[in-house]
Amino acid sequence: MSNVAVAMPRKTRGPWAVAFAKLARDRAAMASLAVFLLIVLACVSAPLYAKWAGVDPFASTLDAVIQIDGADVPVMEQSTEGLGLGYTPLGPTWRLGNYFLGADSQGRDVMARMLYGG
């Protein structure tokens, strides 16, 4: 028998594996990836939020009325202040549901529009 040593080729990692390993070691990159994935998840869930809140983020609702604490509150109140449009939009209600972040100058739900826009 011969005692000749044969060199076996080493299996090296591919460029994608090396890049992913470097990325996984970088804490700032992983935190940024987590924030990015959270934003993507929020954008994907935008239609669910709009349906649940009962709002259309693309339709003007200048004459809409919502209920807050059992009282009817108009989304756009007639006013000479604010944006100078003759109306003042509803501010944040901080209640889960429609108009969580308030309304814009056209009476559209700001939270729903923000989720759709990302």
| pLDDT single digits (tens) 58-114 | 887 777 777 666 677 777 777 666 555 666 677 777 666 677 787 777 778 888 888
Q: Which residue type occupies 104?
A: D
Confidence (pLDDT) at 36: 95
SS3 91: coil
Other Cβ atoms within 10 Å of 115 Cβ, number: 20
pLDDT per residue as tens digits for the range 11-66: 888 899 999 999 899 999 999 999 999 999 999 999 998 888 888 888 877 777 77
User: If you ran DSSP here, which 8-state letter would residue 12 be given?
Assistant: P
Q: What is the pLDDT at residue 84?
A: 58
The pTM score is: 0.63
What pLDDT sits at residue 79? 67
Distance CA 22, CA 56 (A): 43
Do 92 and 100 touch, CB atoms closer than 8 A? yes
66, containing H or E segment: strand 65-68
Hey, how many other C-beta atoms are within 10 angstroms of the C-beta on 108? 21
Distance, in Å, from the CA atom of 77 to the CA atom of 67, rounded to the nearest integer, reads 14
Q: 95, 114, 88: which is closest to 53 by C-alpha?
A: 95
pLDDT at position 96, please? 66
